[in-house]
Structure 1
């Protein structure tokens, strides 16, 4: 334990934007067929370094078949909450769950070039102490580590609904389930909160049989994936309101609240509208009467395409859907980045007015039937997927794998893991850095990114901007 708060903890988003520039990034690597262990790659992000843009260290796991996906820190700026007893933790450990194995690894990255496994939590402990399976999103809260899950109990994860459980942020022991009253929530995906306003928002993807072996076309076309967002009283651990975005808005995924805790709004990305193949972003907010509302504020149209150029799953539609699979919001709450994994595009929207977003920039890379190469000449498999923004908002990093079985359905015959970076113009706009192109080891794909000292989807702030 430190004698003073970790210098990477910041009271406000404003202060975090002034923090030192990241010099390392951490990226999960996954073996899509389970033939080799998954791992963590440490990437050099310092342009002054001789090894800039390369993998400088890896931590490989002792088991196979984990399928790493999302991961997060043991502690972050939320530790500065006046309700916290953990203000003196270090941002030292990465909590890395296996979405297929339900095994959880704790990785010590205090010295990035000597990163190592600190602890392994076996799936049997997860099942016994939570009743949940398929751990997914990690968020560091003021009193512990919150872990969302995609499965309930039983072999196929459908014995009871999935939910959130909490881990001790010092011992990494599993404490237990979060929910006291889940209301209508019966599926899960992402979650995030506003600590001073004491609310949480969660979203829905689908149950394990709907995603583990690939997308189930019949379920998608009959609108059986998740399409609601849930609002919670954070401390009472109670669902206080559920908003159905419409059954046609299939797979409500990433939740991105405004970083300034005075603001009572945020965004949710929807993968596909089954009536027209559009991708969509909803803005949600709290009304004057205290109830929550949501409105579709961004739509992204599909691109017509010769069926002969499409994977079998899409040939009957004659079009490439955007497939909005990730979104991220800059710390100043100005720019929302939207990954259109199907079309092979990264969009930047000015959301200074959250009810009226304006497209400010766009980059094309990869994509179904397009396969746009990186400006440095390298191939880019699949499309832009997990996106992470630097604290100062000047650099946007992304990788390319969605989920192993889904990669294979939408991009049959393709393989490979890449990580790239685009620079943000003074007045908006995006331009790929032709000199930053990370190729991951053969047989491994790449998913979520975490930046040294925090990033735009890691920390929640306890104090308002000045």
Structure 2
């Protein structure tokens, strides 16, 4: 008799996941800004006992050019164990990799040879447009009943509204558009959920014509980028509530809900305030029958000599933090905040989510600082900590340095290069690993964006059972 058991990388609760074995590989989205060479998935050795530790040990070129890989995710994860729509026999085997500029989606199989992912399917932009009426796929989450992908633009004409498309778990066919009633929601960006409470949350950036050629000063100063958070009925697929943070808070980007399904709160990062160039972190929480969103962290801009600033910032004589990513540890204790403009990765203790306490930081790169990595003290770095990924056990944090091609060019006009760094985490220390710094030629002239960790990480799994 055949005995079926779930994928061993699936865990019913966050505390179970936190006890998982350490990852031995990391998958990195690497893209060619010139669109002359194909984008790729780079594979980096993360096993400290390995001779290849901290180096690129695998590489998969994609079959087309001009995709601009951005955020990607797994086909299946711990949400497959949720009792409402269980799929316990799917595997965390495939990477679902969207091209933000091309609107093409790739499916890569890592099972047989984890160091050399293999493209097994392409979803052309025409299919995404015809079946879901979306374009510019952005963020991937594995749900209990399918693969969810947010998209910034509509399929017809490419502008708004953006939203969420759903793919089949097994065939990867586009099922269709997720929303049954979107109300006045038009701008899209990130999404995540409280699965056991039938709540989905979405944030806002802008439509493709607002972002693809870089930050548009007139739109920013005109307060036209996203500044709202939307709360949806997950089962009915309808918009239930919208909270406006205030139009001075431009670009409500990354969403990080508490991992423990017994909790109903989460954090969202705001890139910039047009009033003082500060960045901020906000907390959403349920209060009675509705959600409220309150600011819990302010990160001020730093004064700077206009002569050393890129043209876009010279009139302000300051460097904005430009918080472009946040990540929450699986135990819901630490929130990591990337300040891409000032070149800093901050750690906050959010055990009390209403009153975060800063608990360490590291500097790398930055528009003005150009802080080098300790392994290469004579090499000033461009870019800054951007995409953040936290290991399941919370002991390692990985950061890459590119935000988005056109935006890189505005804020780092002399180039951002490419680098991946690792920070080692304990209760008392928050320090860069001097042995781990793949960069430069190792990425073959590509820029690097998101990281996914073998077996799962802090921003790719959802859980339906509370920690004990």
1:399-457 per-residue CA deviation (whole Å, 9 max, x = no partner) reads 00000000000000123111000011223x41001110011424200000000110000
* 3-state SS of 1:112 partner: coil
1:105-164 per-residue CA deviation (whole Å, 9 max, x = no partner) reads 000011212321111111111111111100000000001000000011334x22x41110
Change (3 A) 1:48 1:2: farther
Distance 2:279 2:228 in 1: 15
Distance 2:11 2:85 in 1: 14
* 3-state SS of 1:435 partner: coil
1:120 aligns with 2:108: no
1:23-81 per-residue CA deviation (whole Å, 9 max, x = no partner) reads 00000000011011001011100000000011111110111000000000000000001
* 3-state SS of 1:316 partner: helix
Distance 2:88 2:406 in 1: 41
Deviation, structure 1 residue 8: 0.3
Deviation, structure 1 residue 290: 1.6
Deviation, structure 1 residue 379: 4.6
Q: Which runs of 5+ in 1 are unaligned?
A: none
1:179-208 per-residue CA deviation (whole Å, 9 max, x = no partner) reads 011122110000000111110110000111
The aligned length equals: 462
Using the size of structure 1 for normalisation, the TM-score is 0.98
Distance 1:424 1:322 in 2: 22
Distance 1:85 1:431 in 2: 40
Distance 2:293 2:337 in 1: 18
Distance 1:63 1:417 in 2: 21
Residue pair 1:344, 1:368 contacting (<8 A) in 2 also = yes
Structure 2 counterparts to residues 27-426 of structure 1, below 5 A: 27-110=28-111, 111-155=113-157, 157-158=158-159, 160-287=160-287, 289-377=288-376, 378-426=379-427
Distance 1:442 1:322 in 2: 29
* 3-state SS of 1:409 partner: helix
Residue pair 1:99, 1:134 contacting (<8 A) in 2 also = yes
Of 435-444 and 173-182, deviating more is: 435-444
Distance 2:258 2:443 in 1: 36
Change (3 A) 1:285 1:42: same
* 3-state SS of 1:38 partner: strand
Distance 1:452 1:154 in 2: 36
Distance 1:413 1:220 in 2: 23
Distance 2:18 2:393 in 1: 4
Using the size of structure 2 for normalisation, the TM-score is 0.97
Residue pair 2:73, 2:460 contacting (<8 A) in 1 also = yes
Residue pair 1:303, 1:319 contacting (<8 A) in 2 also = yes
1:8 aligns with 2:9: yes
Deviation, structure 1 residue 2: 8.7
Equivalence for 1:464: 466
Distance 1:309 1:359 in 2: 29
Residue pair 1:71, 1:95 contacting (<8 A) in 2 also = yes
Distance 1:8 1:198 in 2: 24
* 3-state SS of 2:307 partner: helix
Distance 2:448 2:84 in 1: 36
